[in-house]
Chain A
Amino acid sequence: MANYNPSNTYKYLYDYIIGDLLSQICTNGSKFCIKDETTPYIMGKKFDEYKERASKNMKGNRLDRHKIASCICGAIIEAKPLQGFNGAKIAPNANEILALCVGVNVIKFYMMYDLLHNLDIPTSDKHRIREYLKENFEMEYPSIENNICDTQEYQKNLYNALYWSHSVCTAVGRECFKYDIWAYSKIFYHLEMFNKNNFQKVYQSYVKMDTV
């Protein structure tokens, strides 16, 4: 990772989202770990590359939230940070599961920002709402009841789609379908739409609690 200096955006992204999630997965007693201290840099390099490549195809230079979520999702899939500790067998799509979770948390942060940053209330109140939403709002996926033509949950299909779009080719040298930043950014868009009502519900539950 010599000569790679992570962007400030990636540093925050790692510290506030990726590191938080990794610390919940790679704990003593679990079967997961990351290789070493170079892993955050490997992911960062891929993320900054994806971001730059995506930006080059646009007239503006600020990627929207769904493309950023898609870039970090793709970067994690390529970098494969999660490993089995002491040779433990882990799910083949473990890194895709992490990648999707990081991506939807990027969207969650934007949803919180949309709600709070222009709200005309004291800063201390904003902080309380922010902490409440951070802890109580979890991005959801369509349930199996809404999955009209399948017997598997939506997110499981998505993990597998992410897995087959890239991971297999590097492991066994088979055809690579290539991770598609734009296609997955649309999926993140739909997941944001899907979660809007639930987000409002969680926010309203805070308001109710606060006024009691």
Chain B
Amino acid sequence: MLPANNMLNSLLGKNITQAEKQYNDYNDDHDFSKVLEFCNGNTVHNNIIRYSDGQEKIFSFESKGKEENG
């Protein structure tokens, strides 16, 4: 017989820890915006990207925001 304790316990709903009972299908991870800001630091992004018409341009939402506000 194949060992199948995990499967049987899962089917019977056994061995559920307190943490699992409280699990809401999300693990309260860090705020992604903060993670990105932290990891980026003060780096200025001048990413030059080629478009299908052959033009190479810098595109960033940061610079877009400045254009729109400026």
Contacts and interface: CB of A to CB of B under 8 A. Distances in A.
Classify chain B's interface size: 35 or more
Nearest to A133: B39
Contact of B29 (A40, A57, A59, A64): A64
B62 interface: yes
Secondary structure of the A contact surface, majority rule = helix
Contacts of A40: 59, 61
A33 B50 contact: yes
Contacts of B26: 58-64, 67
Contacts, number: 124
Given A34-B51, A64-B29, A110-B35, A127 B59 contact: no
Given A40-B59, A57-B25, A16 B32 contact: no
Interface residues of A, number: 51
Nearest to A55: B26
Contacts of B33: 8-9, 12
Contact of A20 (B47, B52, B62, B65): B47
Given A9-B32, A22-B47, A68-B32, A36 B39 contact: no
Interface string B48-67: 11111110110111100100
A36 to B, nearest CB: 5
A25 to B, nearest CB: 9
Given A15-B62, A33-B52, A58-B24, A110 B29 contact: yes
Contact of A9 (B36, B47, B49): B36
Closest 3 CB pairs of A and B: A11-B61, A60-B26, A23-B47
